[in-house]
A = this chain, B = another copy of it.
């Protein structure tokens, strides 16, 4: 029997168009080339990275070729037996562009993503990127255009939406367009939490606090606001894939719902429940998918319990979290997440296989049959 396909739905790339855009800028985010041409350029991605007191090679983070090279992406896939990857632009996407610049760059970047996929012999698909600062009609136009591109299966979206968060009524036409186009929303963090929460010693822990806690907490707040504002009541067919196994949504869903049921602000509905008409449990089971990028069997099990085993999808977060050891071929982040899925399901190897690949193939209609 052929081994089951493995599909990676959380894997990032900075296409060359996008790197050129970042290179042309002098304000955050921007790409800083170093005098040493062999050293990778630095991505100044957060205001805190833009520290002119530091030498250039210590500012921001190095962006080596693994962030843009499709060959390296495919090598990574081969090394780790990944059949198909659904690539997405890494943060900060196009959030920082002006309303005038946004639409043209979205079209360029999305076209490059489509080109990459269409020349990749069926091993790549993509989530595209919207220009959030553009007028709603332009964003809706790009969604319609994307729905005709053969390898685009959804869009990646930051937690700020059009700038005011995902409970912003200004998003209504965007939600409607995505719902009609049946494009999946891949909800992904970028902004983290205000650095004050990490305390005066945060820098001693490198990026651990913002990456391990800030990202999932940002995601959880964003999705909860989206639900509380009634988006899923108004758009019952909207499909959202939440990054990093939902941030912390699976673990906190009971507490969130309990707080709503104890909050006078929300009047009782007909069924005696408070809050949005479609309760959190229902929305999690009908509108939400979660990736399995959570690095523990406990996390995978919690994710499966709240959305169902057919709605959890394997991912790697490549090329982030590379091995620190020189020359290491196998990525620990891959191994940890594969192991977490297998361990979470124990004897139910079929369910594990579906999370590793089958669920994504069905949900996104990926053509992997004639591959390899």
Contact = CB atoms under 8 A, between A and B. Distances in A.
Interface in A252-286: 252-266
Contacts of A254: 294-296, 298-299, 336, 340
Interface string A288-303: 0000001111110110
A364 interface: no
Contacts of A153: none
A256 B209 CA distance: 8
Nearest to A248: B248
A333 B164 contact: no
Contacts of A340: 254
A333 B262 contact: yes
Interface stretch (A77-85, A199-207, A234-242): A199-207
B212 A252 contact: yes
A196 interface: yes
A264 B211 CA distance: 14
B302 A298 contact: yes
A290 B306 CA distance: 21
Given A248-B251, A324-B264, A197 B212 contact: no
Interface string A303-324: 0011000000000000001101
A52 B296 CA distance: 48
Given A165-B199, A199-B164, A224-B212, A204 B265 contact: yes
Given A248-B216, A258-B336, A197 B221 contact: yes
Given A205-B228, A205-B265, A258-B295, 20 more contacts: A194-B197, A197-B218, A197-B221, A204-B228, A205-B266, A206-B266, A208-B256, A208-B260, A208-B265, A212-B224, A213-B221, A213-B252, A213-B256, A216-B248, A253-B298, A258-B333, A259-B321, A261-B332, A262-B333, A298-B302
Interface of A: 164-165, 167-168, 193-194, 196-201, 204-209, 211-213, 216-218, 220-221, 224-225, 228-229, 244-245, 248, 250-266, 294-299, 301-302, 305-306, 321-322, 324, 332-333, 336, 340
